[in-house]
Amino acid sequence: MIDERTLERLGGIATVHQLRAAGASAEELTTAVRGGTLRRMRRGVYALPAAQPDALAAVVARGRLSCVSAARSYGLWAGYDPRLHLQFSPHARAGPEQQERRGQVRHWLPTERGDQLWRVTVADCLRSVARCADEETAVAVFDTAITAGLVNPVTLRRILESQPSRARARAVLARPGSESGVESIVRQRLQALGHLVEQQVHVPGVGRVDMRVDGVLYLEIDGFAFHAGRDAFERDRARDAHLATAGSARLRVSAAQVRDAWPSVLRSIEAVVAHSANSQDQRDQPGVLACSIY
């Protein structure tokens, strides 16, 4: 009998040895392939029809998802690179299926053994990201991995301790608190300009706010798939109203604005911060009235 739980645990793709160890017979595998409940991807490798397309492409190429492609499969930030990143052992024999194709990036690196045939381990994923991705993307991957609980700052540095100095230095820049890669990017960019950024700040009556900038501006960042329903939209309007009632400066920007119009977003942030700071200075002077920006 084919154990679908084993296949699901392995990401929908398994070797014949894994399936046989789970109790499947050769006859059952043949029947499943003929019946369409399994696909034979190559000799000795089977997949569920619903397995991820990127995972199937990696198996056909005899590689594993790596770098930002692996990060995406683990639910982490994957940046804006649409290419398929595949990892191969440096000792692997390069055949036609290992030849680099358009839209693919090949990594020839040592690979940890893992149960899943189609992607590298989390540790190998983070190592390849540290070496391959740009600094901003790499740190955003690390931030989301820390927030997701896959690593902590100490284990991240340990994972990267054998990597080149440039890769190790990126681990030092990682911070907990970014629930999305876009939040991490905003945090990195603002801190690089000297702004104080606090993440996941609790505000009474509002809950957690993505970040507070220089102690005066509450900044919320809406993701690419944001406001999937009316309820989410209404909740955020209520949050904005609570912040306004409290007299707090606030700004809500979208992930698309961060990606495509960052200079404009930065100008807005710095203008509100400056205005709020000036208003605070005026409030601190006796006899001077000031209005808060909403």
Q: Write down the domain spans for the chain.
A: 52-172, 181-283
Q: Is 119 helix (H, G, I), strand (E, B) or coil?
A: strand
For the segment 150-178, what is each residue's pLDDT rounded down to a tens digit?
A: 999 999 999 999 999 999 999 999 999 99
pLDDT at 292 over 80: no
Measured CA to CA, the distance from residue 56 to residue 117 in angstroms comes to 10
Give me the residues paired with residue 220 across strands. Answer: 252
What number is the average pLDDT over the span 209-232? Answer: 76
| pTM reported for the whole predicted model | 0.84
Q: Report the pLDDT value the prediction gives residue 227, as an integer from 0 to 100.
A: 39
Mean confidence (pLDDT) of the chain: 86
pLDDT at 294 over 50: no
Closest among 165, 121, 173 to 146, alpha carbons compared: 173
Measured CA to CA, the distance from residue 1 to residue 23 in angstroms comes to 6
Under the banding of pLDDT at 50, 70 and 90, the label for residue 288 is very low
Contact 258, 181 (CB under 8 A): no
Under the banding of pLDDT at 50, 70 and 90, the label for residue 290 is very low
For the segment 19-65, what is each residue's pLDDT rounded down to a tens digit?
A: 998 888 999 999 999 999 999 999 999 999 999 999 999 999 999 99
Measured CA to CA, the distance from residue 92 to residue 95 in angstroms comes to 9
For the segment 198-210, what is each residue's pLDDT rounded down to a tens digit?
A: 999 998 887 889 9
pLDDT at 228 over 80: no
What number is the average pLDDT over the span 227-250? Answer: 61
pLDDT at 255 over 70: yes
Six-digit token pair at 71? 């990060």
Q: Report the pLDDT value the prediction gives residue 52, as an integer from 0 to 100.
A: 93
Q: Report the pLDDT value the prediction gives residue 287, as an integer from 0 to 100.
A: 43
Contact 112, 121 (CB under 8 A): yes
Six-digit token pair at 163? 């990597």
More confident residue, 59 or 112: 59
Measured CA to CA, the distance from residue 141 to residue 14 in angstroms comes to 27
pLDDT at 76 over 70: yes
pLDDT at 245 over 80: no
pLDDT at 102 over 80: no
Q: Report the pLDDT value the prediction gives residue 235, as an integer from 0 to 100.
A: 60
Q: Report the pLDDT value the prediction gives residue 183, as an integer from 0 to 100.
A: 97
| CATH homologous superfamily, domain 181-283 | VSR Endonuclease (3.40.960.10)
Measured CA to CA, the distance from residue 180 to residue 63 in angstroms comes to 28
